[in-house]
Amino acid sequence: MIDSHAHLNDSAFAADLEEVVARAKSAGVHTVINVGYDLESSRRGLELAERFPGLWAVVGLHPHDARLWTDSLHHSIKELAGHPKVLAIGEAGLDYHYDNSPRDSQREVFRRQLALAQELNLPLVVHSREAAQDTLDIISEYPGVPCLLHCYSGSLETAKIYEKMGHFFSFGGPITFKNARRLREVAAGISLERILLETDCPYLTPHPHRGKRNEPAHLPLVAEKLAEIHGCTVEDVVRQTEANTREFFRLADKEDL
């Protein structure tokens, strides 16, 4: 299995990273993609990717911090993105739930990062919360940039539009939550050929471990629930989602943890 969206670059893993990586390997997770949310976490993700063969990095600025975007930050992210173990730009997008940055700034920085991905011929990992229409509208301005709608929480109708555009979706712990019936219905309506697995660790820990720190070793719980949702075997889910992840991130080499 491949964890397509993790944050082992988070301080929550500072004390026991080696053990976390070992547990992931034991659970059948051979590759983890660590996603940046600011310059420090992007650099940390790349450091981990250089240290562990099965770790990869995504670099970018989360919409929460869009107000901090500068030309200098743009240059730094572009420089990091040139490293061979950086697979994409992100996570970038819009978050209208918290509005930690002005919405105008969020939209501007989202466009800046899409343009950077386009310039560097890289895909982009999208964070979108309570901003479905604006997210779709802005992504539509950059048809040449493959996008991954991370922890997708939008409607099935919007998902079908993204599918026609050739984009991908990732699902994590929330599809296992008891009150997530609508999300499971959406996941059931999306082709398995467009779905990736993720943990978003240390957040969104799947049932039955909610309330505890999430980690890549919990990814099989997501695969099991997705198999149940799609009426197929776990092996089918693992095989197809790995192929999807490799296609989206253009990840040809298999380097295990």
> Residue 46 sits in a domain of what CATH number?
3.20.20.140
With respect to residue 18, please indicate whether it lies within any of the assigned structural domains. Answer: yes
With respect to residue 63, please indicate whether it lies within any of the assigned structural domains. Answer: yes
**Of the candidates 120, 117, 118, 172, the residue with the CA atom closest to the CA atom of residue 149:** 172
* Cα 62 to Cα 58: distance, rounded to the nearest angstrom: 12
**Of the candidates 132, 130, 134, 88, the residue with the CA atom closest to the CA atom of residue 110:** 134
Instruction: For 191-232, write each residue's pLDDT tens digit.
Output: 999 999 999 999 999 999 999 999 999 999 999 999 999 999
Share of the chain above pLDDT 90, in %: 98
Instruction: For 58-81, write each residue's pLDDT tens digit.
Output: 999 999 999 999 999 999 999 999
Domain count, the chain: 1
Residue numbers of the domain that contains 8: 2-249
Per-residue model confidence (pLDDT) at position 253: 65
Whether residue 167 contacts residue 213, with contact meaning beta carbons closer than 8 Å, is answered with no
* Cα 120 to Cα 90: distance, rounded to the nearest angstrom: 13
With respect to residue 131, please indicate whether it lies within any of the assigned structural domains. Answer: yes
Per-residue pLDDT band at 124 (split at 50, 70, 90) = very high
φ, ψ of residue 147 in degrees (nearest 5)? -120, 145
Per-residue pLDDT band at 139 (split at 50, 70, 90) = very high
Query: In the predicted model, is pLDDT for residue 256 greater than 80?
Result: no
With respect to residue 254, please indicate whether it lies within any of the assigned structural domains. Answer: no
